[in-house]
Structure 1
Amino acid sequence: MEITTQPTDLTEQINSWKEEVNEVREDVKMMRERLEQIALSSAPREVMTNVEHFENRLLRQREVADEMFHDLKQCAKKLSAQSPTVIHDDRPVCDYDTMSNRMEVFQKLFMELKADFNHFMDSEL
């Protein structure tokens, strides 16, 4: 089935995803700051082990967010070079399905990380 999609619609979706990735970056920054406070305290060894564990997870989350943001920017750039109307077979340009699936996984993994982190922080307070 062929679908005609305006590049502006696709651009809006990409921009929305970029905003979401930036929000994740900010959340990660705040979580790392909270971990730093614990790391500077005289917390027990077990707590410090968990702090290191979350530091590693947050570092990786930041790396994934940076990769995702870069790929979204590249997709937007490719899209801006397209003709006014993009015709495709059930998926937009830039391999939209792949980007959409990656965003779903990105969102799911971040929500799991955030839930684990909040559980850890609640148990330490």
Structure 2
Amino acid sequence: MEHTHTGVAHEEHVHDSSTKSIWKTFWILLVITIFEVGLAFLYLEYGFMARWALNGIFVTLTLVKAFFIVAEFMHLRHEIRNLVMTVLMPLLLFVWFIIAFLADGDSWKNMRKNLAPGTPAPPATHITNEPAHH
């Protein structure tokens, strides 16, 4: 009888620890989100920093929140390194994929704008092999 009681106490302790960890993650995510919303309102009201810097802060804080979500709710905090790499490497490649396509799309947009109908073409440089006449 004693053994089953110890098992129940151990199960309650594990459940209690898990619940505390989830609440800790919740509060961290809430604080980061409130900070992000506060920065957005300050930017809209006062324009106190460059937009690219603000976007960099938002991206960084979003990655921090993603880390906490993946670590806690996908249970990767307690897993072995190889399993973590199995999940993180495709994620990093996917993020790189998105960034590459955004850069390519921006390049295409700029090229299309420069070569739009009605827009004069940039002057062509004519390269010849003839010696220059002085």
Could you tell me the TM-score, scaled by structure 2's length?
A: 0.44
Mark the structure with the bigger radius of gyration. 2
Could you tell me the TM-score, scaled by structure 1's length?
A: 0.46
Q: Which one has a larger percent strand, Structure 1 or Structure 2?
A: 1
Which structure ranks higher in relative contact order (CA pairs < 8 Å, sequence separation ≥ 6)?
1
